[in-house]
Amino acid sequence: MHATRPIAVPPDPPAAEPEAAIALPDYLVDTYSWAYLQPRSLRLLDRHVVVNCILWGNYRRLVRAACREFAAGDRVLQAASVYGNLSSRLADKVGDRGFLDVIDIAPLQVTHCRQKLSGRANVRVRVADAGAAGAQDYDGVCCFFLLHEVPDLQKRRIVNALLAAVRPGGKVVFVDYHRPARWHPLRPVMALIFRFLEPFAAGLVSRSIQHFAESPQDFDWHQRTRFAGLYQVVVATRQR
C-alpha cells in the first residue's frame, strides 16, 4: 500500500439528485425495512451494546481485523453504511492524507452516516449501489456484513463490482458470516436466525466468497475464520 500518494478528495455530492436516482431494491424493502429503513431502527440498533450483542461480543475484534488491512494515506471504499463505529475507525486509520468513501443504497442510512461522521474532512458519504461501484482506483475496499443480506445474484454483482474497484496491488476485505463448526454451541441458534431473520445468508455460508468472483485468478485470496468458524475475514488482493 502507498501511504504517500497524493489524494484528491472529491466534494460531497449535491443534496437531492443522487438520493432520488436509485430505487430501493425489493429485497431490502421486503426483508430489511425494519432494520434499515425506519428512523426508529437507527436509534435502537446503532448502539455499540446492541451491535456487539448481535455479533455475540465479536464486534470490536471484527472491526480491528478489517481496519488492520488498511494503512495511513489509503483511499478506501466502504461498501455500505454500518451500525457502530466501523466508519470512524476506518477514517482514523487512513488519516488526513487518506480518504474514506462510504456508500449505501438507502438515503436514510446515508443521512445517518453523514451525521455520525460530520466534521471529518477525509470522508465522503453518498448514495450508490455497491453492485455498480464502477472501476475505480481505490487502494482498498471494506465490505462489512453486507453479502449475507443480499440475494445470491446480488452477491455476485457486489463481489465483482468491488473487486473491479481496486487498483493493482489493492485489496478487498470481506467480513461476514461463515458456517460455524459442528460443535459450536450457537450453531442451532444461528440456523434459526439465518432461516427467519437472514434468509439470504444460506447462499453465503454454503460456499466461499471467491465462488462469486468472475475472475478469481486475478486476485490472491486469503481467508481466516473467527469465533469457531462463525465469522470469516477474506482478503482478496489484486495481482500487480
Collect all residues with Cβ–Cβ distance below 8 Å to 153 and sequence separation of at least 6: none
Confirm if 73 and 98 have CB atoms less than 8 A apart. yes
pLDDT digits (tens, 9 = 90+) for 178-211: 999 999 999 999 999 999 999 999 999 999 999 9
* CA–CA dist 46, 108 (Å, integer): 13
pLDDT level of residue 21 (50, 70, 90 thresholds): low
> What 3-state class would DSSP assign to 66?
helix
Collect all residues with Cβ–Cβ distance below 8 Å to 72 and sequence separation of at least 6: 3, 93, 94, 95, 97, 98
pLDDT at 161 exceeding the cut of 50 = yes
Confirm if 48 and 59 have CB atoms less than 8 A apart. yes
Confirm if 42 and 112 have CB atoms less than 8 A apart. yes
pLDDT digits (tens, 9 = 90+) for 46-88: 999 999 999 999 999 999 999 999 999 999 999 999 999 999 9
Confirm if 227 and 56 have CB atoms less than 8 A apart. yes
Go through the chain and tell me how many residues it has. Answer: 240
pLDDT at 15 exceeding the cut of 80 = no
Cα angle 40, 100, 22 (rounded to 5 degrees) comes to 55
What's the CATH class of domain 22-238? Answer: alpha beta
Instruction: Quote the pTM value.
Output: 0.92
Cα angle 39, 100, 132 (rounded to 5 degrees) comes to 75
Q: How many helices (H) and strands (E) does the chain have?
A: 10, 7
pLDDT at 138 exceeding the cut of 60 = yes
